[in-house]
Structure 1
Amino acid sequence: MRPTRARSLRTTARTALATLSVLGLGTGLLAAAAPADASATGYAALGDSYSSGVGSGSYISSSGDCEQSTLAYPYLWQAANHPSSFDFAACSGATTSDVLSSQLSGLNSSIGLVSISIGGNDAGFASTMETCVLDGTSACLSAVSTAESFTNTQLAGKLDSVYAAIHADAPNAHVVVLGYPHLYQVPGDCLFGISDTSRNAINGAADDLDGVIANEAAKAGFAFADVRSAFNGHEICSDDSWLHSTTLPIDESYHPTSTGQADGYLPAFTADAG
């Protein structure tokens, strides 16, 4: 991750909200109490490569290593709905820490809609997939177990900090948190590659990840858009995959294709965008 966005300076409100969350008061009540503002009509797209559009091509040259695509669901949504402003801050490789440090400067009271996918990189998605592809089933299962342990013990607090910061900086926004699909159809049509045991384990890790994300989004009063059903039948090893398997350029591996963005992520986001 090489962030291109300026660091947000509004840390006082974020710290207060995060403290309330830690004390058990949660952010859901705060979000629910925020007054509606009809003038809040801007849209901000935050998150990682699944939101920037890695794998879909048509990258915006000025986005550099963030690899933002005009075929990513945020760009497609804004082109169809014409929000009063569009802040495309999602960036390839982003973690929760990167969102806090580099993606929030465009948020303000005029933002009425925020989308975000985040958490996969915190859990070590890329390194886990590298291990599974290169080092065999036993190493894969160990790597997946490590990722699941992080997801189930440490990710919730990191998500809570991000969600509190979004609410602090965009108090009038409706926030849609998007999850991650299963990567593999099991059994499927793939004759080569990793074992079905590894594929099932990777899908199980996605379920753990989505479960934690959905739970923390609900606590924050945010909508959760589950894309797993949209990608059902379109995973890697299916006859109509909307996801790249191992491919070149390598960073597009295990990411949605342009069809996955348009027919998977976009409808899921639109259904919750209001």
Structure 2
Amino acid sequence: MILTVADVGATAHSAQRPAAVPTGRYVALGDSYASGFGVLPYAKGTDVVGGNRCKRSEGAYAHKVGKRIDRALDFHACAEARTKDFYQANTAWGEPAQLDRVGSSTGLVTFSIGGNDAGFRKTLTDCIGGARIFPFVTCSGDKKITDPVDAALDALRGKSTQEGIHSYDAIMADIRSRAPKAAVVAVGYPHMFPVKGGEGGLIPGRCEGVKKVDQRWIAAKTDEVNAALKASALRHGYLFADPTGAFNGHELCGAKGSWFYGLFEDGRFHPIADGHTATADAVMNALKDGGGQQGAALPAAEEQVRNARPKGAMTVARNGSRLSLDASASTDADGTVAKVDWYIQRPDGSEEELHGVRTATTVSADQAVSVTAVVKDNRGMEDFVTQVSPAAKGQANGAK
């Protein structure tokens, strides 16, 4: 679908002139990132204790987009929504299936979905609480956490099936069948944490309780969700809005000031009003670009989503206080290993970062450490491999 840009006068958003979208109503769907969870006030009847908790904010990005394109808005995003909620009613909250709101009179659809299917909410809880509060225990190194996330991502990509998860391709096809003339913008998720990790909050060296290596893992999984959503959208002739660039520096603990609610705020780990403005900008940029996304962007997106994750492998050797690290045995089935970064967790909770396929550092012989190698391939996919290196024999607990 090729969209043209209307020639309008300069505004506060003149860099993103409102796009000409097909005639009809604007329908906005999705989860809490689309509903505006945390940004008060909420629409009447969507923040009811013991009832509807969709928490649809008047400051959500959909409202901003609707105003910029001067289009009536049907707003049906809902906090906690998963892909199954596009197809089945949430009777407890009085919510019909979200896709039932899309029809032949729809001119524009935007949606953000998949984060809850991938388990991001549970993952964040796991990364902060329980055993993960201790120095040597990470989310990225726990298969009980990482395997379900990867399985859900495969289901969203359509590479496998999983009960309760609908693939992005299925959603795109169903929107097409219901609203064949509508413009559709799939909206990605911003990075919650800086890719290299940030610091801030009650626990030194972490951001809102999350270790740097786990911040990086969460960012990597966010990128995988976005890659799958983008490829599916472009494959079906639709558009993708990517807010990650605008959020650069505005993540939790970001250098430019966070656009997210923190751990102890009602909207925790969700964008504040500034974040929704940035997301609306991303939607408008996608509409402005229009058919340009169907050119070189489609093959690149397809290549990215087909890219296999590299397989990290490492050895850790100790000689007195010298800790030697080697990830040269790492492989990549459809490309090359481009980079290896290391995260060393020490007993005092500090986290050292090193770089290179082979590297070394100094650790007291009486200290155990947790070592994570982040192996990155030539297309940006990452694998995380963790190993605990015990104190040198006879040196535990400060023994001489």
Give the corresponding residue for 2:240: 224
Equivalent residues in 2 for 1:24-103, closer than 5 Å: 40-63=23-46, 64-83=52-71, 85-101=72-88, 102-103=97-98
Q: Aligned partners of 2:22, 2:220: CA distance in 1, in Å?
A: 42
Shift of 1:268: 0.2
Give the corresponding residue for 2:260: 243
Q: Aligned partners of 2:171, 2:57: CA distance in 1, in Å?
A: 23
Q: C-alpha offsets along residues 150-205 of structure 1, whole Å, 9 cap, x if unaligned?
A: 24421123212211111111111110001111111234241522211111111111
Q: Aligned partners of 2:21, 2:231: CA distance in 1, in Å?
A: 28
Give the one of 269, 276, 280 matched to 1:254: 269
**Residue pair 1:113, 1:273 contacting (<8 A) in 2 also:** no
Q: Is 1:234 aligned with 2:225? A: no
Q: C-alpha offsets along residues 96-146 of structure 1, whole Å, 9 cap, x if unaligned?
A: 110122112222222111001011111111111100010316352226522
Q: State the aligned residue count.
A: 236
User: What secondary structure, in the 3-state scheme, does the structure 2 residue paired with 1:104 have?
Assistant: helix
Report the CA distance shift for 1:144/1:222 in structure 2 as closer, same or farther (over 3 A).
farther
Q: Structure 1 stretches (4+) deviating beyond 4 angstroms?
A: none
Q: Given residue 171 of structure 2, which amino acid in structure 1 is its aligned partner?
A: V
Give the corresponding residue for 2:120: 125
Give the corresponding residue for 1:140: 139
Larger CA deviation: 169-178 vs 58-67? 58-67
Q: Given residue 214 of structure 1, which amino acid in structure 2 is its aligned partner?
A: K
Q: Aligned partners of 1:244, 1:52: CA distance in 2, in Å?
A: 15
Shift of 1:75: 1.0
Give the corresponding residue for 1:190: 200
**Mind listing any 5+ residue stretches in structure 2 that lack a counterpart?**
3-19, 47-51, 89-96, 159-166, 204-208, 289-400
Q: Given residue 272 of structure 2, which amino acid in structure 1 is its aligned partner?
A: T
Q: Given residue 44 of structure 1, which amino acid in structure 2 is its aligned partner?
A: V
Q: Aligned partners of 2:113, 2:211: CA distance in 1, in Å?
A: 27
User: What secondary structure, in the 3-state scheme, does the structure 1 residue paired with 2:258 have?
Assistant: coil
Q: Aligned partners of 2:237, 2:264: CA distance in 1, in Å?
A: 38
Q: Is 1:270 aligned with 2:284? A: yes
Sequence identity (%): 33
Give the corresponding residue for 2:155: 154
Q: Aligned partners of 1:162, 1:39: CA distance in 2, in Å?
A: 20
Q: Given residue 76 of structure 2, which amino acid in structure 1 is its aligned partner?
A: A
Q: C-alpha offsets along residues 227-249 of structure 1, whole Å, 9 cap, x if unaligned?
A: 11010010001241001221232
**Mind listing any 5+ residue stretches in structure 1 that lack a counterpart?**
1-30
Under a length normalisation based on structure 1, what TM-score does the superposition of the two structures give? Answer: 0.80
Q: C-alpha offsets along residues 13-65 of structure 1, whole Å, 9 cap, x if unaligned?
A: xxxxxxxxxxxxxxxxxx79xxxx98633100011111111122211122341
More helix by share: 1
Q: Is 1:203 aligned with 2:219? A: yes
Give the corresponding residue for 2:182: 173
Q: Aligned partners of 1:91, 1:145: CA distance in 2, in Å?
A: 26
**Residue pair 1:113, 1:175 contacting (<8 A) in 2 also:** yes
CA RMSD of aligned residues (A): 2.1
**Residue pair 2:22, 2:108 contacting (<8 A) in 1 also:** no
Q: Aligned partners of 2:34, 2:265: CA distance in 1, in Å?
A: 20
Under a length normalisation based on structure 2, what TM-score does the superposition of the two structures give? Answer: 0.56
**Residue pair 1:100, 1:162 contacting (<8 A) in 2 also:** no
Larger Rg: 2
Q: Aligned partners of 2:260, 2:21: CA distance in 1, in Å?
A: 38
Shift of 1:92: 0.6
More strand by share: 2
User: What secondary structure, in the 3-state scheme, does the structure 1 residue paired with 2:230 have?
Assistant: helix
Give the corresponding residue for 1:24: none
